[in-house]
Structure 1
Amino acid sequence: MLKTNYDFDQAILPTGAALKANILLRFRADIPESPRRNLNLSLVIDRSGSMAGAPLHHALKAAESVVDQLEPEDTLSVVVYDDAVDTPVSPQPVTDKATLKAAIGRVRAGGITNLSGGWLKGCDYVKAHLDPQKINRVLLLTDGHANMGIQDPRVLTSTAGQKAEEGVVTTTLGFAQGFNEDLLIGMARAANGNFYFIQSIDEATEVFSIELDSLRAVVGQNLVVTLELANGVSLIDILSLAQVSQNDAGATVITLGELYEGEDKLLGLSLDLPAAPVGELPVLKLHYSADVVQDQVIRSVSGTAEVVAQVGTIEAAASAASSHILFELSHLTIAKAKETALDLAEQGNHQEAEQRLRALIQELQAKGLNENFEIAEEIDQLEYFASRIAQGALGNAGRKELRDQSYQTLNRNRSDLTGRGVTAGDEVYAMPTVSDVGSGVELSCVREGGKLRVKVMSEGYDPAKNVQFPRAIRAEGARYVVEGLELSSDGSFYRVQGSITRLAKPGEPDIFVAARSSRPRSSGKASTGPASAADLPTTDTVGDGILVQCVKDGSKLRARVVSDAYEPDWNMRFPRSVREEGMLYVVDEVKTAPDGKSYIACGEIKRFVQPTVTT
């Protein structure tokens, strides 16, 4: 029922010297025609002010799409939160989908972010209907930082682990650029759930569908692997995302979480091996256990496997073909390097972080792995991140992409989740431009499944093939002119030859010039208002503005900032004539007052009108 196999990165290890070796272990629940497991699901959605407009609209549409994909045997609840926690849909079987979607569609944006309150309420609902034969899951979506309720990441992370021990697993979804990725990844890891970075508002439905597909495919849970190392063998590193501990005998215990139908759970290990004579070298004994679906009932299964390396002469090792799993191990090695580089950079060791990434690039190229398109793409990512780290300019978006790419590769074996990133490279704005293609080849950058891909537009080339292209100048919608293209050695993708320029045809708007100057400018002066709120201009988008809400504070009406990165409890200088309890406004700018503990609204004020979500 639970199958395992392994491969070393070298088919034959050389005799005569101690060496480092990487090994890839695979686990798969072999369940013939596994039936779909029913869900006990709570959607917990951030409706704080920073979600106002298009973000909340798309989040709610994604929630409605979840309803469409559920069955009457599934249990669903929907929780929404800002500073208050509400339940548009109490736990119930998914029988009246129209009513459920209508309740979701009535949700509107509000105040600040009580993440813990909303999440714990969703956990309570799932716990109240806990069924070990179902997938019991909370999906927590937020676009911001917790600034009300329990805010300590250590407490929230440890609580996620405790809830998982009680049978309630949490998956976290970070929306756009304002959320705390360390918190959401930490909660997902502690709970053995999943984490997703929803990079653009229109991909919310796609990401929700990926998670639902994953939940339907769960055929095993609580996969635990214990390593019993042979004499002289030592564990250097674990190249997979896992919870690691030691048992009473001192053996390493690795918790890998869920098993998915048709998907191998990968465990990469980096080991120091002793010198050995030609023949078989015992490396470790593997003890594993999991709770697996069998005949529509969850049963505990366990097993033991011996891991043995083949040792040959130096000549035999040199002439042996590289292991066929070298590409998969390289993906894990790259993901681990990204995680390490980010940690180093945040400790101030930017030079060491850059050097590690560049050393890995050289190693991958020396092995010829850049002839594989996915590894070549990873090399471009490594180049991009190494350059950004060296400049101290990784930024919020770069940090999120780096964390997401590392997490997804180390956690899952799905190509549609790895290498994602749609933020435009900064260098695209400074590129030289041309007005026509001339004798060159025209390329276009498009977004496919959360990734920026470059395709050929000129005739005479295969438009279905990807183009290997520098990550630093990729931007969705950009067009380029290159001198030429050459096929990779296996003919599966193109490489750019010669110089690269950006194409900006006469008479067509240059979206990248416009993007640099699109942010509205504030006068810097304190806002003034008309006679009443009804006289304010209206908007249904926040854009680059700041969202403000009028709240009742005792007998007074106060204006408070509800956009993230501001103090939610500070008062604000704001025109009294337009204050109405509960109303949302968009202002051009918010400045800190001279007292250092309040704000001043500056520039134009618009009344925010909630967009309608149609079912």
Structure 2
Amino acid sequence: MLKTSYDFDQAILPAGSSLKTNILLRFRAEIAESPRRNLNLSLVIDRSGSMAGAPLHHALKAAESVVDQLEKDDILSVVVYDDEVDTVVPPQAVTNKAALKNSIHRVRAGGITNLSGGWLKGCEHVKTQLDPQKINRVLLLTDGHANMGIQDPNVLTATSGQKAELGVTTTTLGFGQGFNEDLLIGMARAASGNFYFIQSIDDATEVFSIELDSLRAVVGQNLNVTLELADGVSLVDTLSLAKVSQNDAGKTAIALGELYEGEDKLLGLSLLISSAQVGKLPVMKLHYSADVVQNDLIQSVSDTVDVFAKVGTVEEAALASTSHIILELSRLTIAKAKETALNLAEDGRHEEAEQILRVLVKDFRDRGLNENFEIAEEIDQLEYFAGRIAQKALGNAGRKELRDQSYQTMTRNRSDLVGRGVTAGDEVYAMPIVNEVGSGVELHCVREGGKLRIKVMTKGYDSTKNIQFPRAIRAEGARYVVEKLELSSERTFYRVHGNITRLTQPGEPDIFVAHSQSRSTNTGKASKGPASAADLAATDTVGESILVQCVKDGSKLRARAVSDGYEPDWNMRFPRSVREEGMLYVVDEVKTAPDGKSYIACGEIKRFVQPTITN
């Protein structure tokens, strides 16, 4: 029912003292074909002001796509939240998909972000329909920071763990660049759920589909591993993202969460062996248990495996074939290095963080692993992030990308989740530009499954092959000219050689110059309004402006900033003539007033009109 296997990073370990080695443990639930488990699902969607326009449109379309993929025996509820929490779909069987989608379709953007209120309501709905034979899950989507209700990340994370113990698991989805990734990852980890970074607004449907595929594939839960290490063996590090603790017997206990059909759950460990003699070396007893689907029911299974290493002479170890699991261990090692480097950088130890990544790059190249395209891609990523960290310019987008890449690799074994990242490197805007290909090779940057890939456009090359290309100058839609492409030693992918320039065709607008130009400078003067709100110009986009909402406060109408990054309870100097309860406005700029505890609306004010959502 639950099978396990293991491999060391060296087929034969060298005899001697103080040996450091890595081991990869695999767990897989193998079950006879049976009907998929039904879902008890609550979608909790942020409709705060910062989601207004295209983000909310795509989030709702993604939610409607979830309805299309559910079956009549699944239970669905839908909660939306800003400062108020509304249940637009109470818990019910998915028997009338048109009605469910119509309820989602009518959602419109509102005020500030009461994340805790929306999430707890979703948990409440799942709990009312709780069934241990179903997958009981809350999918929480947000694009911003919690600025109303429970806001303490520690409290929210701990509560997520408590809800999971009661049977309600949370998956979190961060939308765009404004959310708190540490909070969302923390909540997902505490609940043994999943986390996703939706980088592009039109990526939402695909990411929701990945999560639904995962939920359908859950065949085991609560995978727990206990390590009983042999004498002379100690645990240096855990390469997979898991809950690690010491049990009452002083042994290391590791919680790995869910098992998915057809997908190995990987546990990478770094071990120190004080002394290894030639022969068969006992390393540990591995005790494991999980709740697995068996005969269409959830049943507990457990077992113990004795782990041994093969030890030979130094010469035998050197001549032994390379372990077939080296690539999988490399992925985990890279992910762990990214996590460590980010933590060091945030402690102000930028030089150490940079060195961790650069040393790893050198090690991979010295071992020839850069001849594998996936590792070659990771080397580009590591060099890019090392450079950004060295310049203390990782930025919000880079941080999210780095955290997401590390998280996905250390928790899942899916190629469509690792290495995702579509944020353009700043260097693309400063590249030299040419207007013709000449004798060079034309390349094009496209987005595939959340990843930036480079494709060859010039005839005479294999357009199906991948291209190793510097991560720092990748940007979706960009075209380049390179001097030449050369095949890797195993002829599986191309490498770029020589100078790289960006290509723009004569007469075509340069989207990257336009993107890098800032919007018109605001005068900084306080806004003045016309006679009434009806006289304001209308817009259905927010862009880089600020969203403001008018609310009733006792007998007064107050204006407040609902875009992320602003204090939601501060008063605002705002033209009284255009104030209407519940109305949303787009303002060029919001400045802090001289008193330091209120705002001033500056520049042009427009009336925000919710965009029309079409099927």
Which residue in the other structure is 1:35 paired with?
35
Which residue in the other structure is 2:362 paired with?
362
Q: Does 1:216 align with 2:216?
A: yes
**TM-aligned CA deviation for residue 35 of structure 1:** 1.9
> Contact (CA 8 Å) 1:520, 1:544: kept in 2 or not?
no
1:226-245 alignment runs, 5 A limit: 226-245=226-245
Unaligned runs of 5+ in 1: none
Task: Identify the range of structure 1 (126-135 vs 510-519) with the bigger mean alpha-carbon deviation.
Answer: 510-519
Runs of 4+ deviating beyond 3 Å: none
Matches of 2:569 and 2:36, distance apart in 1: 47
Matches of 1:276 and 1:192, distance apart in 2: 37
Task: Tell me the secondary structure at the aligned position of residue 18 of structure 1.
Answer: strand
Matches of 2:368 and 2:526, distance apart in 1: 61
Task: Tell me the secondary structure at the aligned position of residue 580 of structure 2.
Answer: coil
Which residue in the other structure is 2:470 paired with?
470
**TM-aligned CA deviation for residue 614 of structure 1:** 2.8
1:266-285 alignment runs, 5 A limit: 266-285=266-285
Letter in structure 2 aligned against 1:30: E
Task: Tell me the secondary structure at the aligned position of residue 585 of structure 2.
Answer: strand
Which residue in the other structure is 1:261 paired with?
261
**TM-aligned CA deviation for residue 517 of structure 1:** 1.1
Which residue in the other structure is 1:382 paired with?
382
Q: Does 1:151 align with 2:151?
A: yes
Matches of 1:404 and 1:264, distance apart in 2: 20
**TM-aligned CA deviation for residue 519 of structure 1:** 2.5
Q: Does 1:399 align with 2:420?
A: no
Matches of 1:47 and 1:75, distance apart in 2: 22
Q: Does 1:48 align with 2:61?
A: no
**TM-aligned CA deviation for residue 109 of structure 1:** 0.5
Which residue in the other structure is 1:573 paired with?
573
Task: Tell me the secondary structure at the aligned position of residue 413 of structure 1.
Answer: coil
Which residue in the other structure is 1:501 paired with?
501
Task: Tell me the secondary structure at the aligned position of residue 528 of structure 1.
Answer: coil
Matches of 1:34 and 1:304, distance apart in 2: 27
Which residue in the other structure is 2:124 paired with?
124
**TM-aligned CA deviation for residue 318 of structure 1:** 0.4
The Cα offsets for residues 307-354 of structure 1, whole Å up to 9 and x where unpaired, read as: 111101111100111101000000000000000001000000001000
Q: Does 1:488 align with 2:464?
A: no
Matches of 1:614 and 1:95, distance apart in 2: 23
1:402-551 alignment runs, 5 A limit: 402-551=402-551
The Cα offsets for residues 444-483 of structure 1, whole Å up to 9 and x where unpaired, read as: 1000000000110100001111110000000000000000
Task: Tell me the secondary structure at the aligned position of residue 269 of structure 2.
Answer: strand
Letter in structure 2 aligned against 1:244: V
Matches of 1:217 and 1:284, distance apart in 2: 31
Letter in structure 2 aligned against 1:591: K
The Cα offsets for residues 166-214 of structure 1, whole Å up to 9 and x where unpaired, read as: 0000000000000000000000000000000000100100000000000
Which residue in the other structure is 2:8 paired with?
8
Matches of 2:266 and 2:300, distance apart in 1: 20
**TM-aligned CA deviation for residue 16 of structure 1:** 2.2
Q: Does 1:111 align with 2:116?
A: no
Matches of 2:35 and 2:9, distance apart in 1: 36
**TM-aligned CA deviation for residue 612 of structure 1:** 2.2
Letter in structure 2 aligned against 1:613: I
The Cα offsets for residues 135-169 of structure 1, whole Å up to 9 and x where unpaired, read as: 00000000000000000000000000000000000
Matches of 2:430 and 2:35, distance apart in 1: 54
The Cα offsets for residues 85-121 of structure 1, whole Å up to 9 and x where unpaired, read as: 0000000000000000000011111010000000000
Matches of 2:526 and 2:31, distance apart in 1: 66
Q: Does 1:187 align with 2:171?
A: no
Task: Tell me the secondary structure at the aligned position of residue 139 of structure 2.
Answer: strand
Matches of 1:18 and 1:60, distance apart in 2: 56
Unaligned runs of 5+ in 2: none
> Contact (CA 8 Å) 1:289, 1:303: kept in 2 or not?
yes
Task: Tell me the secondary structure at the aligned position of residue 60 of structure 1.
Answer: helix
Which residue in the other structure is 1:24 paired with?
24
Matches of 2:588 and 2:10, distance apart in 1: 60
Q: Does 1:58 align with 2:58?
A: yes
**TM-aligned CA deviation for residue 367 of structure 1:** 0.9
> Contact (CA 8 Å) 1:550, 1:584: kept in 2 or not?
yes
Which residue in the other structure is 2:203 paired with?
203
Q: Does 1:606 align with 2:614?
A: no
**TM-aligned CA deviation for residue 66 of structure 1:** 0.4
Matches of 1:283 and 1:519, distance apart in 2: 62
Letter in structure 1 aligned against 2:601: A
Task: Tell me the secondary structure at the aligned position of residue 17 of structure 2.
Answer: coil
The Cα offsets for residues 259-304 of structure 1, whole Å up to 9 and x where unpaired, read as: 0000000000000012222111110110000000011100000011
Letter in structure 1 aligned against 2:255: T
Which residue in the other structure is 1:138 paired with?
138
Which residue in the other structure is 2:294 paired with?
294
Matches of 1:603 and 1:383, distance apart in 2: 42
Which residue in the other structure is 1:252 paired with?
252
Task: Identify the range of structure 1 (509-518 vs 453-462) with the bigger mean alpha-carbon deviation.
Answer: 509-518
Letter in structure 2 aligned against 1:357: L
Task: Tell me the secondary structure at the aligned position of residue 399 of structure 2.
Answer: helix
TM-score by length of 2: 0.99
The Cα offsets for residues 481-534 of structure 1, whole Å up to 9 and x where unpaired, read as: 000000111211100011111111211111111111153431211111111111
**TM-aligned CA deviation for residue 33 of structure 1:** 1.4
Task: Tell me the secondary structure at the aligned position of residue 316 of structure 1.
Answer: helix
Aligned residues: percent identity?
81
Task: Tell me the secondary structure at the aligned position of residue 188 of structure 2.
Answer: helix
TM-score by length of 1: 0.99
> Contact (CA 8 Å) 1:521, 1:588: kept in 2 or not?
no
